[in-house]
A and B are shown apart, each in its own frame.
Chain A
Amino acid sequence: MKIFDIFERNGLSIGLGVFIVISIGGIVEIIPSFYDNARPLNYSKPYTALELTGRLIYITEGCVECHSQLVRPFKIETDRYGHYSLSGEYAYDRPFLFGSRRIGPDLFRVGARRSVDWLEAHFLDAESTSPGTLMPDYTDLFTNSVDYETVYSDMYTQKVVFHVPYDEEGMPPLGEFEDMKESLLDEAKEIGPRFKTKAIRDHLENDEVKEVVALVAFLLRRR
């Protein structure tokens, strides 16, 4: 094969050839709208401390393997899950959690259709609210406490490295580690009373936040 001979001369020429051919697709599809894709909507805000805590739990527990967070622009879909997703709504998502399976329903706007106590009951025993469901129970969420340090690390990195507008006017506060702990606790105490499980409320009295509170706050973010 004459035209391919050049690649057989040495290891470097085939390497280079492959490298160039492989690079083209990505360059064309990723670079042109890189800036546009990262622009937030006017009203979107970064995650608050409690919501981000919930988001990290959502990642750890692998909820993304069963749930999508991307509503497509079809009537049957917006009827079920709410307004279709806009690019700007995801601007503060690192990384994205679109998901590619719907073993369970889309959760992007689940806050618009489910209440705190429904979610709580569902995590404790999914069968109780949805007989025949495939979703496992997540009782550990009711006993594990949130990890302030990782969340602070994440938020602080977002702020200083990626210029996510924490602490700016009209945006969620971050401040020092102790400030963030306080604002997280305040948030938790706001939705805390709506939990039915007495233990959760008691722990909150003692300034202890259980994981389930954060996860629910994350799910209720978009109402």
Chain B
Amino acid sequence: MEHKTSTIKYDDRVAKGFIITTLVWGTLGLTFGLWIATALVVPSINMGQDWLNFGRFRTAHTSALLYGFVLSTTFAVWYYGSQRLLKIPLAAPKLAFFHLITYNLVILSAVFGAIVGATTARRYSEFEWPVALFLVISWISWGMHIFIMIVSRRERTLYVSIWYFVATFLGIGIVYVFNNLEVPTIFVTGMGDWWHSVSLYSGTNSANIHWWFGHNAVGFVLTVPIVGVSYYMIPKRAKQVLFSYRLSLWAFWGLIFLYLWVGPHHLLFSSLPDWIQTLGMLFSLLLILPSWGSMINLLLTASGKWELLRTDPVFKFLIIGSTFYGLSTLEGPIQAIRSVNALSHYTDWMVGHVHSGALGWVGFTLIGAIYVIVPEIWKRPLYSNKIAEQQFWIQTLGIVLYAVSMWIAGITQGLMWRTTDVYGGLVYSFLDTVLVLQPYYIIRAVGGSFYLYGFCMLGYNIYKTISPARYKKEQTSAATVV
């Protein structure tokens, strides 16, 4: 990279917007998570109301967090980082504002739709067609912004984070559109619920295409942009360059190539043809290479700066986040092995895998990123490092309680389902295997409330940091770039 110093007028209004909304969606989504975790301890918590049920709020939980919290933070990092990495001020600010506003309306309608039961029941693309269409429009506005910024950039080298953002845009865009091809019934008959539609795919095809999408909803929402964020934040916070730029690029192409093959590991032993299942399993095992490539690269970037782990809570979030990436990308391929999946599929072990990734890797990395960029764009020091430090420990405890309880619960239940007596008959009724999970569900709910509490501390810390500037109209800022 060239070391030229120039003055660029950064415009961080949209980044600020996404920071605020991400805190809102994050808090809301985690609260929904705690709600459904509690519903599995006290099922009568719905008070006889349909709309308060587990079935509705589970979708609200994933929509608010995956699309609301995770992607909003990603966008905030994009609108903040693209100006610094490409060395130009925010291009097309109107487009960026359009994105900010439409995107949040999409999430609002998605969460509302989930709660009232307007859903397609396809995991992670539950949005009915009007919302899906609206999402695509909003999504394209982000993509246009990415390409406008890249085309008009002043820095020749595209830093690897930018590659990850481009892949996020295209990856989610492609799989989302193909999975959501459907015929709105209102245009065919003119009667019934206007948001209802019939999918273009049926049966096993529908499952195959869905998990081709679904794994990449998981991958391109919960991994690709987060790796991009991490590649940006860890070197920045450690104040040293990436350990290996070459490795980061190889890992990039490996990751985005392999991701699109592994969907069938969600359908092992299903009615999907065997050869597809086998491909899915093999590519899942290969996936460990680019994933660990990135993880090792990120951690080695911090080498020589380990003392920061003692002094800087923000750095802790980032580094522990990447460590959890290593953990869940080891656990994932293990669960993708057929014989392991026979046990783990359908159980809480999967939920444990999801949340060690979601809380540890995604949550911590993004919390770290928020802590890095907020003081910069609001131009005031963080209100309290101490709160951040306490938050780190409370949330770490939350993750451990969550993940460990779910691992035990999942394996226990999986083993009980397959326990047979000497005559080969089943020993436990299904209900037996449900009752035994109670203590673990309680521990999980406690862990979840720790995590939520920690997230509220983040909100408070950020609020305190930015509040004196709340009514300031002046938002564009000048800064020096290195």
Chain A contact residues, CB within 8 Å of chain B:
1, 4, 7-8, 10-12, 14-15, 18-19, 21-26, 28-30, 33-34, 36-38, 59-66, 68, 70, 72-77, 79-80, 85-98, 100-105, 126, 130-140, 147, 149-154, 156-158, 160-162, 177
Per the bound structure, the CA–CA distance linking A74 and B342 in Å amounts to 9
Q: Which residues on the A side are within 8 Å of B207 (C-beta)?
A: 90, 96, 98
| CB atoms of A59 and B121 under 8 A apart | yes
**A150–B193 touching, CB < 8 Å:** yes
Interface mask (B248-273 → A, CB under 8 Å = 1, otherwise 0): 01000100111111111011011111
List 10 additional contacts besides A15-B170, A85-B271, A160-B188; criterion CB under 8 Å: A18-B256, A37-B272, A62-B54, A93-B203, A94-B202, A96-B203, A96-B204, A101-B351, A136-B55, A150-B193
Known contacts A25-B259, A90-B204, A153-B189: A11-B151 contact under CB 8 Å: yes
Residue B312 CB within 8 A of the other chain? no
The reply on B446 being an interface residue by CB < 8 A is: no
State the CA gap A26–B262 with chains docked (Å): 10
Fill in one digit per residue for B144-173: 1 if any A CB lies within 8 Å of its CB, else 0.
001100110000111000010011001100
Residue of B nearest to A16 (CB): B170
CB within 8 Å of A: which B19-70 residues:
39-40, 43-44, 46, 48-50, 53-56, 58-59
Q: Does B304 contact A (CB under 8 A)?
A: no
Q: Please tell me if the beta carbons of B212 and A92 are within 8 angstroms of each other in the complex.
A: no
In the complex, the answer to whether B249 meets A4 with C-beta atoms within 8 Å is yes
Give chain B's interface residues, CB within 8 Å of chain A: 39-40, 43-44, 46, 48-50, 53-56, 58-59, 117-123, 146-147, 150-151, 156-158, 163, 166-167, 170-171, 174-175, 178, 183, 185-186, 188-189, 191-193, 196, 198-210, 212, 245-246, 249, 253, 256-264, 266-267, 269-273, 276, 279-280, 283, 342, 345-347, 350-351, 417-418, 420, 424-426, 430-431, 434-435
Name the residue of chain B whose CB is nearest to the CB of A151: B192
Contacts of A59 in B (CB 8 A): 119-121
Q: Can you list 27 A-B pairs, Cβ within 8 angstroms, ordered by A?
A: A1-B245, A15-B170, A18-B166, A23-B174, A25-B283, A29-B212, A29-B264, A30-B205, A62-B117, A64-B121, A74-B418, A75-B424, A80-B417, A85-B271, A90-B202, A93-B202, A95-B202, A133-B434, A134-B43, A136-B44, A139-B48, A152-B189, A152-B191, A153-B185, A156-B185, A162-B198, A162-B202
Q: Give the Cβ gap from B168 to chain A, nearest Cβ, in Å.
A: 10
Are B346 and A101 in touch, CB under 8 angstroms? Answer: yes
Are A18 and B53 in contact (CB-based, < 8 A)?
no
Query: B356: shortest Cβ distance to chain A, in Å?
Result: 17
Bound together, the chains give a CA A60 to CA B246 distance in angstroms of 48
Question: Are B206 and A73 in touch, CB under 8 angstroms?
Answer: no
Chain A contacts for B430, CB-based, 8 A: 80, 104-105
Q: Which residues of B contact A103 (CB under 8 A)?
A: 40, 434
Residues of B within 8 A of A77 (CB): 417
Cα separation A63 to B188 with both chains bound (whole Å): 28
CB nearest to B120 among chain A residues: A95
Interface contact A11-B276, CB-CB below 8 Å? no
Contacts of A24 in B (CB 8 A): 257, 260
A14–B186 Cα distance when bound, in Å, is 40
Contacts of B186 in A (CB 8 A): 153
Give the residue of B166, B208, B261 whose beta carbon is less than 8 angstroms from that of A14. Answer: B166
The answer to whether A65 and B196 touch (CB under 8 A), given A96-B204, A153-B188, A153-B191, is no
Q: Do the beta carbons of A136 and B147 come within 8 Å of each other?
A: no
Please determine whether B210 and A96 come into contact, CB atoms closer than 8 angstroms.
yes
> A70–B191 Cα gap in the complex (Å)?
32
Pairs A-B, 9 closest by C-beta atoms? A62-B55, A25-B260, A90-B203, A150-B192, A11-B150, A153-B192, A153-B185, A87-B271, A102-B346
Chain A's closest residue to B438 (CB) is: A132
B150 CB contacts on chain A under 8 angstroms: 10-11, 14
Contact present for A15 and B192 (CB under 8 Å): no
Whether A79 touches B204, Cβ cut-off 8 Å, given contacts A8-B158, A21-B257, is: no
Contact indicator A161/B198 (Cβ below 8 Å): yes
Whole-angstrom CA separation of A64 from B192 in the bound complex: 23
Residue numbers in B under 8 Å from A75 (CB-CB)? 424
When chains A and B are docked, how far (Å) is the Cα of A103 from the Cα of B434? 8
Task: Contact check, A154 vs B346: say whether CB atoms are below 8 A apart.
Answer: no
Is B431 a contact of A85 with CB atoms below 8 Å?
A: no
Question: Given A36-B273, A80-B426, A100-B346, are A65 and B192 also a contact pair (CB < 8 Å)?
Answer: no
- Which residues in B have their C-beta under 8 angstroms from that of A138? 50
Asked whether A61 lies within 8 Å of B271 as measured between CB atoms, the reply is no
> What is the minimal beta-carbon distance from A32 to any residue of chain B, in angstroms?
9
How far apart are the CA atoms of A63 and B59 in the complex, in Å? 11
Contact in complex: A95, B201 (CB < 8 Å): yes
Question: Are A149 and B191 touching (Cβ within 8 A)?
Answer: yes
Question: Residue on A with the closest CB to B267?
Answer: A98
A15 CA / B245 CA spacing, docked (Å): 20
Alpha-carbon gap, A147 to B56, bound state (A) = 19
B337 to chain A minimum Cβ distance, whole angstroms, is 15
**A85, B122: Cβ atoms under 8 Å?**
no
CB neighbours (8 Å) of B246 from chain A are 1
Which residues of chain B are within 8 angstroms of A74 by Cβ–Cβ distance?
A: 269, 342, 418
In the complex the two chains form, is A94's CB within 8 Å of B198's CB? Answer: yes
Report yes or no: A96 in contact with B191, Cβ–Cβ below 8 A: no
Q: Is B269 within 8 A of A134, CB to CB?
A: no
Structural contact, A37 and B40, CB atoms closer than 8 A: no
| A66 engages B212 (CB within 8 Å) | no
A134 to chain B: closest CB distance in Å?
5
Partner of B261, one of A15, A25, A37, A79: A25
Q: How far is the CA of A104 from the CA of B437 in the complex (A)?
A: 12
